[in-house]
Amino acid sequence: MTYESTAHPTHSVSPLEGLRRAGAGLRRFFAGIGHGIMMGSTAQRRFEQVQGLQAKSDEELAAMGIKRDDIVHHVFKDLYYI
């Protein structure tokens, strides 16, 4: 009785395919970094906008049509629906 190997043959990757995979990985990596930077700068701008509105008087806010309690909703209204 003989036993045959059940191991799967190894698949070699061509050098060109290896470069494609590495390039795709690098693109995803740098895209992730870019996305993080963009989200951070967007968050910072929104935070500064909230602070700017909070520094206004109630009369100034009323002239803009914003209640003090609605400042955060006003700044972030494009991101969620309430």
- Domain assignment present for residue 69? The answer is yes
Between residues 60 and 17, the one the model is more confident about: 60
| Distance separating alpha carbons of residues 75 and 63, to the nearest angstrom | 16
Instruction: List, for residues 30-79, the tens digit of each pLDDT value.
Output: 888 888 887 777 888 999 999 999 999 999 999 999 999 999 999 988 87
Q: What is the pLDDT of residue 16?
A: 82
The tally of domains found in the chain comes to 1
| Distance separating alpha carbons of residues 19 and 55, to the nearest angstrom | 54
Domain that holds residue 58: 17-76
Would you state the structure tokens that stand for residue 72, as one six-digit string? 């955060």
pTM, whole model, 2 decimals? 0.53
| Distance separating alpha carbons of residues 25 and 10, to the nearest angstrom | 23
CA 77 to chain centre: 18
- Domain assignment present for residue 22? The answer is yes
- Domain assignment present for residue 52? The answer is yes
